[in-house]
Structure 1
Amino acid sequence: MTHHFNDLDAAVDHLLAQLPTAMHVAAPLGLGKPHRLLNALYARVEGDPARPLHLYTALSLDPPSPGQGLKARFVRPFLARHFGDDFPRLAYVQAMKRDALPAHVEVEEFYLQSGALLDSSQTQRRYASLNYTHVAAALAHRRTDMIVQKVARAPGGDRLSFSCNTDLTQDTVDAHLARGLPRPLMVAEVDPHLPWLGGSAVAPAGFFDVVIDPPAPHPRPFGLPRQPVDDADYAIGLYASTLVRDGGTLQIGIGALADALCHALVLRHTDNARYRQVLAALDPDLEDHPAVRESGGLGPFEIGLYGCSEMINEGFKRLVETGVIRRKVVDDPALMQRLADGTANLGDHARLERDGEYLHGAFYLGSPDFYAWLRDLPDEQRHAIGMRRIGTVNQIHGNDEALQRLQRHDARFFNSCMMATALGAAVSDALEDGRVVSGVGGQYNFVAMAHALPGARSVLLLRAVREAHGRTDSNVRWNYGHATIPRHLRDVYVDEYGIADMRYASDEDCVIAMAGITDARYRDGLLEHARAARKLRAGFQVPARWERNTPQRLGAALAPFRTDGTLPDYPLGSDFTAVEQRLVRALAWLQAGTARPAGKLQVIVRALRGSGQDDAEALARMGLDAPRGAGAWLEARLLRLALAQTARPA
């Protein structure tokens, strides 16, 4: 029997009466987390040591902090508009950031909002390093008592959809039952803003023991602000796009690198001549790169791609809209085999067109525009998107492996990492001292799957350099004290300077490949480490083309395409207004220029001299059109200087 509640307090009363004194509760990652219910539960137990709470989850999304100074002037109005004043920040996250969780409350996450909790001892101590596909079994090992999840309700009906998170819930229930454990109490919080997705996303009848319809107003779902894409990001996306084979399978991550890759794939398909012009400016020899010849292509997508990714995001929306994602699959091994053999008949093709799906995912996350797209999809497109369990999307073993091999041919798995070593290990989730930045998530799953599927490739994307606190360092390291992906699983690395194909390569060949995509400022030091370790011959000569690996040369190569709009700042749309986009550029310039004390002094002196731009709209947006006080007056001068330095031609 399903119990229904409209009042959160009454629902919590009921749940506490059903649960043991020490509660073990699980909640989905990201958008599927019911913030209002979790906050009501936390408020009830926070001050009651007699009711210990153990919460297992991941990616507890929290809007950014406004900060201070110019940042606060920009961020505060944006947060109010983008998230809404009534967005329910998770109370336990606010406590974790202050290391203020009470002793009887523990929160264990297997994936963190990137960089947000580096300084939280409580978070770092309770982080669980798990492959995404291992989480359901881990939750059964912990004997979860209750799972709480946001759901969508069918328009005009009673059916419930897992919607944004089909990833772990059913797998977790099955894992409990397989161990002979009681089925966790299943609790759904209905969100009227959550897009309805049918098919495999529909919850079985009676699956949830408790269904809560909280009263209005209903806060809008967490929207990820879309970030600008810079020259390095675009170069990475363009190089990566040449490794995709028409008719293949695509998995991508999230962030500016994924946005750049999706834009490059769309450009390749919709304006192939222009795409080739950009590639030629970037690297005149790219078409002859062995990895491009053997694994990729430069032509439009005549067959189209099948998307199979743990996360469906903004980029997939654009790929579907432009026809890049359109290769359909069905869960019928015999039919898929006939398609592979070229023996499919007209009836097979008719069934594929009628019942096939061209995009599979386990959860989705994106901007408000992305959620609106999902809500308003025509039925034909909605039926072509299938939400699946993480155990299905992120691996082939343990499922109908023969079917998935047929569906996922020529797969390209694109994920990001922070650093890579010259011998092929990847650093994606944590720092050298062990502090976790984000998590492993599904990265290892996809890397391993690339080695298990014939014709598949794992491509790890990284920026060649990083800038922090006024320092610039190479992200291509000789060695690092932590690795997420071991070097024996090395495959392809891509940064803004090119492609390093390292599958099956010897150590010396790996060193040469990675040095070839290293920023020229750090190349010689890397090679010296390799020689000292006996991994590089003494007489190795640096190819002349490696001298092109500089930010200046990259910027010059892409400048015409940045100016004419071929490579826009926000390729997938922006959550910022036009004036805010100008301010984002200006504030980024100001942050970089003032990172070091000497640079900060120089910038202040220039600002005081009055070299700036009178952008009245931008100054008004920041509340600095009529500054009051010395501090505000200086901020206005600094902003005027930054706007002048980052102004674009009309």
Structure 2
Amino acid sequence: MISRMPIEHRYADTDACAHFLAEELGPDLRIAAPLGLGKPHGLLNALYRLTGADGSRSLRLYTALSLTRPQPAPGLEQRFLGPFLKRHFGADQIDPQYALDQARDALPPNVEVHEFYLQSGALLHSGSAQRSYISQNYTHVARDLAVQDINLLVQLVARREGPDGVRYSLSCNPDLTLDFLRQVQIAGKQRPMCVAVVHPDLPYLSGNAEVSEAYFDVELRPETSPPLFALPRSPVDLAEYALGLHASALVKDGGCLQVGIGALSDALVKALLLRQQDNTMWRRALVALDRRGATHALAGWMGGLAAFETGLYGASEMVMDGFMHLQRGGILKRRSWDNLALERASASGRLATDVPGGHYLRGAFFLGSRELYEWLDATEATDPDAIDMCAVSNVNQLYGDHQALAMLQRRGARFFNTCMMATLLGAAASDTLDDGAVVSGVGGQYNFVSMAHELPDGRSVLLLRATRQVRGGIESNIRWNYAQTTIPRHLRDIYVTEYGVADLRGKSDSECVEAMLAISDARFLDALCAQAKAHGKLAADFVIPESWRKHRPRYLREALLPYQQKGLLPKFPFGSDFTEVEQRLLPALNWLKAGGSSWRGRLRLLRAALRPGEPAAGEQEALARMGLSAPGRWSDRLQRRILQTALRRKL
């Protein structure tokens, strides 16, 4: 690292800092900002305003995952989400204005925003975002960014003063900053001006995430900061729990774990905790789902049915709440050392348990609930070796000087990711719709799938619901073919739906087709089977087994209802950010949303509204929460009647 002078420019006023940067760097700003939590929205907004007000200037931003609060539609959605969003995010939360403007195609002509991963579905209909999207593997971003002549890097950081002076932690986002600045140096290009924007609540994580004061050129410490962006905790339904139970049997004690985010990942984590803490009930639930014994057979040689003794090591591009719950549940505890001799000794059981320096979780960025941020802070204070936040090149790939060590650390690796759709031949679509519209991005999925194929005992596990709700009905997420591919068929490995596990590695095309049919929804089996036969990928005399005909939602409910009634499969497995009244409202509002997506559904709603039935328990509290206790306007009275209909419906 080139020796650098301590910071000379310090600001407490965001606008003053923005004006200094604009004057110092000239009329053309080419900015790099971290994905997710590490983006300093206040400073970016100030630079965006300054550029938008002056047509002689330009701004080009390279980033990803621009987090914005949901923008509820008028009506019942606004009545429900408005008060919740204000309570959850805080009234002084700041959204990145460029993201709000881009969502409605209203960016100024002198501003460009290029992202390699979009907030899922948020920019699906934005022509600007779709045109400016850059399709990249996570590990290629720093390399490609180094040739873009970036002149400004801005990042949210944690700050600490000690005997050695000021230190910063890249905290939530060492992922690309470390790699990018290293690539710039290797390429012999001019280093961009680097701005540290201090947030008082950001957890200070040491290790690879810690840098000296000289790493930055400018420090901005605003007098006030909005709360850290915290994701609301998601509900998990029975189909997702079924998927999680199947997937949890594939995890090997003493192995390595990568987990993404969302309800499917929460279901997997909850199932792993059930396997650890109530193994008998976990096994019974799995037997109820796995009548054919297919998942049990795979667990026998690939995963396990017993509780975890050695525990798991986490190596995941994203550190999310699930890892916190796994550590608290006694599962995430296998430590690894960044020393090949020590790691070899640990793998062979020869390393003393009191050897310092080992970590049980390595990640490139973190994002989750406020509880996660508090846990990270507390863990750093009591066990600073436990969590290593580092460059994405050290998490998402094996190549480089660390390859031998990384392969040993990731022994028994199970890389869990979600996808939108899969084909009968094993390809996956995870980020793009059939017409090419980008929903999110490749991110690190390809990285983890390819790593799984390189590791001697690693496996890639892609999770997906067997069906999806669409306007007017449902569709299968398992297709004969799909125009867009995130993971090609030659990298096919394991798929899991609520109906089971399909192991495709090394299988012939006909074997892959049969395995994928075996985890499909029964309502689509005949059509899928016919397509495979028509294309010569399935024998003409193949007959669908009768046991597959039971792959329907009602059979899942029958299998898991006893465990739901015992409280083992709660709607919110890790607590809820919604009040009890809001939790009662959610099913009713979801029912209305689903019903209103087609003309047939709207007709059914109208008929039901004419005869809403008897008042439901807790109805008055629900109406009060929605501000509909005594509606005055005709439109409000209509909303009240529709909501009453949903609350009183027979389940």
Shorter chain as denominator, the TM-score bin is over 0.9
Partner of 1:303: 310
| Distance verdict in 2 for CA 1:527–1:285, change over 3 Å | closer
Partner of 2:559: 557
Give the drift of 1:375: 2.8
The answer on 1:637 being equivalent to 2:641 is yes
- 3-state secondary structure, aligned to 1:113: coil
What is the distance in 2 between the residues matched to 1:625 and 1:564? 35
What is the distance in 2 between the residues matched to 1:291 and 1:602? 45
What is the distance in 1 between the residues matched to 2:571 and 2:135? 35
Partner of 1:452: 454
What is the distance in 2 between the residues matched to 1:516 and 1:90? 45
More moved, 25-34 vs 94-103: 94-103
Partner of 1:211: 219
What is the distance in 1 between the residues matched to 2:198 and 2:524? 53
What is the distance in 2 between the residues matched to 1:238 and 1:319? 15
Give the drift of 1:345: 4.8
The answer on 1:169 being equivalent to 2:171 is no
What is the distance in 2 between the residues matched to 1:466 and 1:287? 24
Deviation digits for residues 339-372 of structure 1 (CA, Å, limit 9, x no counterpart): 2234x254xx321xx3211011110001122222
More moved, 2-11 vs 425-434: 2-11
2:127 to 121, 128, 131: 121
| Distance verdict in 2 for CA 1:595–1:360, change over 3 Å | same
Give the drift of 1:288: 6.0
The answer on 1:255 being equivalent to 2:262 is yes
Superposed counterparts of 1:390-401, under 5 Å: 390-401=392-403
Give the drift of 1:548: 1.6
What is the distance in 2 between the residues matched to 1:303 and 1:63? 40
Give the drift of 1:378: 6.4
Give the drift of 1:203: 1.6
What is the distance in 2 between the residues matched to 1:167 and 1:279? 37
Superposed counterparts of 1:229-378, under 5 Å: 229-286=236-293, 289-342=296-349, 344-346=350-352, 349-351=353-355, 354-377=356-379
More moved, 176-185 vs 284-293: 284-293
2:63 to 47, 57, 74: 57
What is the distance in 2 between the residues matched to 1:402 and 1:377? 28
What is the distance in 2 between the residues matched to 1:638 and 1:501? 46
Superposed counterparts of 1:41-80, under 5 Å: 41-80=47-86
| Distance verdict in 2 for CA 1:345–1:632, change over 3 Å | closer
Where does the alignment leave 5 or more consecutive residues of structure 2 unmatched?
1-5
- 3-state secondary structure, aligned to 1:158: strand
Partner of 2:167: 159
Give the drift of 1:595: 2.5
The answer on 1:613 being equivalent to 2:616 is yes
Q: Contact 1:586–1:646 (CA<8 Å) still a contact in 2?
A: no
Q: Contact 1:143–1:176 (CA<8 Å) still a contact in 2?
A: no
- 3-state secondary structure, aligned to 1:485: coil
The answer on 1:588 being equivalent to 2:590 is yes
Partner of 1:623: 627
| Distance verdict in 2 for CA 1:117–1:406, change over 3 Å | same
1:566 to 565, 568, 581: 568
Give the drift of 1:641: 2.8
Give the drift of 1:444: 0.2
- 3-state secondary structure, aligned to 1:203: strand
1:88 to 78, 84, 94: 94
1:421 to 409, 418, 423: 423
Amino acid at match of 2:633: G
Give the drift of 1:644: 3.1
What is the distance in 1 between the residues matched to 2:283 and 2:640? 43
1:187 to 177, 180, 195: 195
Partner of 1:147: 153
- 3-state secondary structure, aligned to 1:434: coil
1:25 to 31, 34, 52: 31
Partner of 2:3: none
Give the drift of 1:155: 7.2
Q: TM-score, normalised by structure 1?
A: 0.96
Amino acid at match of 2:135: S
What is the distance in 1 between the residues matched to 2:450 and 2:142? 19
- 3-state secondary structure, aligned to 2:56: coil
What is the distance in 2 between the residues matched to 1:286 and 1:4? 64
The answer on 1:38 being equivalent to 2:38 is no
What is the distance in 1 between the residues matched to 2:530 and 2:308? 43
What is the distance in 2 between the residues matched to 1:155 and 1:313? 28
Q: Contact 1:594–1:600 (CA<8 Å) still a contact in 2?
A: yes
What is the distance in 2 between the residues matched to 1:635 and 1:102? 38
2:578 to 573, 576, 579: 576
- 3-state secondary structure, aligned to 1:193: coil
Amino acid at match of 2:200: P
Deviation digits for residues 411-465 of structure 1 (CA, Å, limit 9, x no counterpart): 0000000000000100000111111000000000000000001100000000100
What is the distance in 1 between the residues matched to 2:650 and 2:288? 24
More moved, 5-14 vs 411-420: 5-14
Q: Contact 1:23–1:54 (CA<8 Å) still a contact in 2?
A: yes
Partner of 1:504: 506
Give the drift of 1:626: 1.6
Give the drift of 1:287: 6.5
Amino acid at match of 2:516: M
Amino acid at match of 2:149: R
Q: Contact 1:315–1:572 (CA<8 Å) still a contact in 2?
A: no
Give the drift of 1:317: 1.0
What is the distance in 1 between the residues matched to 2:603 and 2:161? 59
Q: Contact 2:362–2:388 (CA<8 Å) still a contact in 1?
A: yes
Q: Contact 2:235–2:572 (CA<8 Å) still a contact in 1?
A: yes
- 3-state secondary structure, aligned to 1:148: strand
More moved, 413-422 vs 390-399: 390-399
What is the distance in 2 between the residues matched to 1:378 and 1:106? 38
Q: Contact 2:425–2:480 (CA<8 Å) still a contact in 1?
A: yes
Q: Contact 2:166–2:213 (CA<8 Å) still a contact in 1?
A: no
Give the drift of 1:226: 1.3
Q: Contact 1:613–1:641 (CA<8 Å) still a contact in 2?
A: no
Amino acid at match of 2:210: V
Q: Contact 2:231–2:368 (CA<8 Å) still a contact in 1?
A: yes
Give the drift of 1:608: 2.7
Partner of 1:536: 538
Give the drift of 1:84: 1.3
Superposed counterparts of 1:468-507, under 5 Å: 468-507=470-509
Give the drift of 1:178: 1.0
- 3-state secondary structure, aligned to 2:628: coil
Q: Contact 1:585–1:646 (CA<8 Å) still a contact in 2?
A: no
Report how many aligned residue pairs link the two structures: 641
| Distance verdict in 2 for CA 1:646–1:412, change over 3 Å | farther
What is the distance in 1 between the residues matched to 2:288 and 2:297? 19
Deviation digits for residues 606-629 of structure 1 (CA, Å, limit 9, x no counterpart): 233231415221111111122223
Deviation digits for residues 580-614 of structure 1 (CA, Å, limit 9, x no counterpart): 11111211122223322222222232233231415
Partner of 1:111: 117
What is the distance in 1 between the residues matched to 2:449 and 2:380? 34
Give the drift of 1:285: 3.6
Deviation digits for residues 104-145 of structure 1 (CA, Å, limit 9, x no counterpart): 111000000000001111111010000000000111011211
- 3-state secondary structure, aligned to 2:337: coil
